[in-house]
Chain A
Amino acid sequence: MAQAALAEVGQVPWRKPADQAYLDRYGRVWLIWTIALTVPFVVTGLGLLAVTWLTIPVAAIAFVQAWINPELYAFRGASVLRPKGARHEQSEPVAQGLLGDLLGHEERDLQRQTGIALQRGAMGVWMVGEAGAILLAPGGRRAHCFCVRVTDPGLPPSDRVAHLLLALRTDEQGFATVANHAFCGAPWRVRRRLPKPMRPALDAARSLAREPR
């Protein structure tokens, strides 16, 4: 009667299952990529300053470049949780009620405050938004940002969250496989780029991710 795997995994047969080993590998690749985008510009800036103080303007540009590249990636990561699409003010309270029934007391309050539903899974703590999710790995030191959405754009925001939450609860690994990985990095980098009302959800997720299971 029941199916263990998410049906949507069949739509992406070319993807390898996004298991823990895959996520760890992906995190290391992002770390190397970030270093590769940053260190050469810092070294260039320092090298220019070592030659002569006349290079200060060019060195400053190199330092700005070293800062802006990782910031842009972190912005892309945080953007997966930003509200998207029509607000559907009339149907949203009904959808909010159903979503609230799916959540525990604390998670419900946090969702109403921030728009983000928290879900603890085997791979870490998930923050589920309207069109994306962030997974905080155990220990809370790494955030994996995923773009994932429900295929019906006419749904109210809380219904979009509920769809993603139910898919995640059905098959966590399948959910991560279907979703597009947008960014991986330190949670503090993502937090700075999150809209302020959503930041308490990230703080709560980090606290939960630090707790032993």
Chain B
Amino acid sequence: MDASGHSTMAEWTTADDAGFEAAVTQFREQLDQGFIGVLDHGNGQAEQIRELPRDADLVILRRPIAGG
């Protein structure tokens, strides 16, 4: 999620090794920039992740939060 609303950083399929590797690289770069990877399970539960799951439908990168 960014100032444009949101941007697609990478797309892959479970069978697409090259696409997944590129996504992993992109994901790690974003983590290094301070983003936090989140997997939303859709039932009111979400999971913070450090590694990109190959079988995930959607991984969202969010910024950290802080007390206002």
Contacts and interface: CB of A to CB of B under 8 A. Distances in A.
Interface residues of B, number: 27
B3 A2 contact: no
Contacts of A150: 62-65
A201 interface: no
Interface of A: 1-3, 6-8, 11-12, 80, 88, 91-98, 102, 119-121, 131-132, 146-152, 154-156, 158-159, 162-164, 166-167, 169-171, 175, 178-180
6 contacts: A91-B5, A94-B6, A95-B6, A148-B66, A150-B64, A150-B65
Given A150-B63, A151-B65, A163-B63, A2 B48 contact: yes
Contact of B60 (A91, A166, A178): A166
Contact of A154 (B3, B45, B46, B53): B3
B49 interface: yes
B5 A148 contact: no
